A and B are shown apart, each in its own frame.
Chain A
Amino acid sequence: MAHGPAKGIGRWLFTTNHKDIGTMYLWFSFAMFLMGGSFAMIIRAELFQPGMQIIRPEFFNQMTTMHGLVMVFGAIMPAFVGLANWMIPLQIGAPDMALPRMNNLSFWILPFAFTLLTATLFMEGGAPNFGWTFYAPLSTTYAPPTVNYFIFGVHLMGASSIMGSINIIATVLNMRAPGMTLMKMPMFVWTWLITAFLLIAVMPVLAGAVTMMLMDINFGTSFFNAAGGGDPVLFQHVFWFFGHPEVYIIILPAFGVISHIIPAFSRKPLFGYSSMVYATASIAFLSFIVWAHHMFLVGMPIGGELYFMYATMLIAVPTAAKVFNWISTMFRGSLSFETPMLYAVAFVILFTIGGFTGIMLAVAPADIQYHDTYFVVAHFHYVMVAGAIFSSTAAVYYWLPKWTGKMYNETMGKVQFWIGFIGFNVTFFPQHFIGLAGMPRRYSDYALQFSDWNMVSSIGAFTYGAAQLLFLYNVISTIRSGKPVSEPKTWDGAEGLEWMVPTPAPYHTFSTPPVIK
């Protein structure tokens, strides 16, 4: 029979085991989450009061940029890749990923990519300071010299993501257990399959955008330089052609996670499985044709504004189908509210709020007021944090007993949830108000009338940050001293192949594929 893991550090360096690699992705992502979070704490500490208090404006700009980059590429994306590595082979009855060595490579690229990126903080000229969207010419003509490290970092992250996606698609398409047709796949597998296709389509575009920047900066081309015949607006088109699908790359796996947790704690099968699949695919398709709604103020012709406005609003339809399906799953279910379910329900509520503000922002004439204000900041934190972070936290609580064979402390989990939930809303809900009142984003100082809500927002942010430390404590104490569990099904309502293997999941699973009836 199969052998166990190797001993010592070599286990982690050379592993090709999907569970080991998934674990490394998850820990790496959490480390990046704490780092990006500490950048956010610096931002909120500076904005606690008007005027310059703690840091200099130049450093503030570096913090907003690094916070965005680290959270998007370092925390959220690797978290879901980690979940995919752990759960996809278990959920489709495969012994491992299809390309295990490439899997190892795609993880081990990441520490190098983020070392390159964060090392810029200690270099002359400072870290990138042009915002996570790195609009040219701010990121080319006016960039600090460290921009080259940023560019190579992004190239590496892109390579890692593309390899990870190829691996996921190859696994899902070729290694499903006999009898598992596409329309019998668990939702998490479906959403990741579609996400992986999105990644392969747009990560190369991001690589292209930074390559063009590299050429403009170092080799005298003029892709984005108006003086040389280029156009900075072109940069925004290329960037958002990547950037808009990217936000669905972040949220689709979250939809998948929620589509497992809600049925498990409602003790009912997922309502409208096939409509969920089609809704996911529709969202993915629409994500490619709406990118310019991020650019309503560049001087688009009215026809363009109208098209991008209506196309964007159209995304609300498949998204609403998903929300209604989750609610219908809960309807008349035998509900219980363990920590994963609390997170899942909070996800549905808060993500829907973020979706509604998204529709407000999609309205081109109204966007003229909202553009680049804290209203936008509030909007995308409702979908990124309450969407992606809440759902990956839910996933960790949900699958942690399966991974470790230990049960987390339910009371501690609930305490952590409520502190985080309150902290999150206290942080970001007031940002809707100050945004509508006109406070622009990405500034280290603000007009006096925004003082009160900024102070509230900062207090909320510190609370939310503390909740994440509690989360770390919960996970570590579960691993070290959690109550051992051994029945395959941790949650009585949970369905799926991952609950058929022993708990904790052995190092090798499904060496002989299960048969799906």
Chain B
Amino acid sequence: MEKDIPKTSVKKTLLKLSIGAVGMFVFAVFLMPPLYYALCDLTGIGGKTSGRYEVQDTTIDTSRTVKVQFLTVNNGSMPWDFSPKVTEVRVHPGESKAVAFYAKNRTSKDMVAQAVPNLTPINATKYFHKTECFCFNQQPLSAWSEIDMPLVFIVDKDIPKTVNTITLSYTLFDITDSANSAEFPVAQLNQ
């Protein structure tokens, strides 16, 4: 009774569909995350600022002033003090500006933190360049010690005319458990 069933074409269908299913898994794990980050980088959505910036053009556009505000957030129950030294600066596009953020480890154990930036409005993300930032590295801090952490940035001269205020927020994460303590000797890095 089974001789009517076209065995070879069933096998062909099975093979094609299995390849499709495996392909979608690969797509989800190996392609979706890179695509997502590429899209975020390209458009600035998500407010992720990019990595270290190399200055090419040092001219300053003194005709404009942009207000840059700083915000800090402690993730979850992160027990550090964490705040900007100044909450707001006014800069000309093209001008290099240095500010600092204060952090204090309010616990009796050595900890490692990671600050993650987020910037609004999103159409300013691509025009906010950091030449130096504490967020580029993990930040170890021994028990009860404190630190001023640097941020040097330049607002691009091509920033859209509609952007007058930029808000840069940092969220501080406790990564003591996952940080490789051998790689970041706490005593040596602290001042």
The interface residues of chain A, by DSSP majority, are classed as helix
In the bound complex, do residue A212 and residue B75 qualify as a contact, i.e. CB atoms below 8 Å apart?
no
The reply to whether the CB of A377 lies closer than 8 angstroms to some CB of chain B is no
In angstroms, how far is the closest chain B Cβ from the Cβ of A4?
14
In the bound complex, do residue B32 and residue A237 qualify as a contact, i.e. CB atoms below 8 Å apart?
yes
The answer to whether residues A200 and B171 also contact, given A2-B1, A99-B10 and a CB cut-off of 8 A, is no
**Interface-forming stretch among B43-51, B86-94, B126-134, B181-189?**
B43-51
The reply to whether the CB of B160 lies closer than 8 angstroms to some CB of chain A is no
Residue of A201, A204, A299 near B47 (CB, 8 A) is A299
0 or 1 for each of A232-247: is its CB under 8 Å from B? (1 = yes):
0110011001000000
**Interface-forming stretch among B14-22, B97-105, B143-151?**
B14-22
The reply to whether the CB of A173 lies closer than 8 angstroms to some CB of chain B is yes
| A residues in contact with B33, CB < 8 Å | 212, 223, 234
0 or 1 for each of A207-229: is its CB under 8 Å from B? (1 = yes):
11101100000001001001110
In the bound complex, do residue A207 and residue B5 qualify as a contact, i.e. CB atoms below 8 Å apart?
no
Complex CA gap A223/B33 in Å reads: 8
The answer to whether residues A207 and B28 also contact, given A99-B14, A166-B18, A227-B75 and a CB cut-off of 8 A, is yes
For A, the interface residue count at a CB cutoff of 8 angstroms equals 42
Residue of B nearest to A237 (CB): B36
The reply to whether the CB of A231 lies closer than 8 angstroms to some CB of chain B is yes
In the bound complex, do residue A208 and residue B25 qualify as a contact, i.e. CB atoms below 8 Å apart?
yes
0 or 1 for each of B155-191: is its CB under 8 Å from A? (1 = yes):
0000000000000000101110010000000000000
In the bound complex, do residue A174 and residue B75 qualify as a contact, i.e. CB atoms below 8 Å apart?
no
In the bound complex, do residue B175 and residue A227 qualify as a contact, i.e. CB atoms below 8 Å apart?
yes
Residue of B nearest to A94 (CB): B5
Complex CA gap A387/B46 in Å reads: 36
Residue of A165, A204, A511 near B28 (CB, 8 A) is A204
In the bound complex, do residue A201 and residue B46 qualify as a contact, i.e. CB atoms below 8 Å apart?
no
The answer to whether residues A162 and B178 also contact, given A212-B29, A238-B32, A301-B122 and a CB cut-off of 8 A, is no
Complex CA gap A396/B139 in Å reads: 62
The reply to whether the CB of B114 lies closer than 8 angstroms to some CB of chain A is yes
In the bound complex, do residue B173 and residue A202 qualify as a contact, i.e. CB atoms below 8 Å apart?
no
Known: A205-B32, A227-B175, A238-B28. 17 other contacts (CB 8 A): A2-B1, A95-B4, A166-B13, A174-B10, A200-B24, A204-B22, A204-B23, A204-B24, A208-B25, A208-B32, A226-B173, A227-B178, A231-B46, A233-B46, A234-B32, A299-B47, A513-B4
> Closest 3 interchain pairs by CB?
A208-B28, A227-B173, A204-B24
B residues with a Cβ closer than 8 A to A are 1-2, 4-6, 9-10, 13-14, 17-18, 20-25, 27-29, 32-33, 36-37, 40, 43, 45-48, 75, 114, 116, 122, 171, 173-175, 178
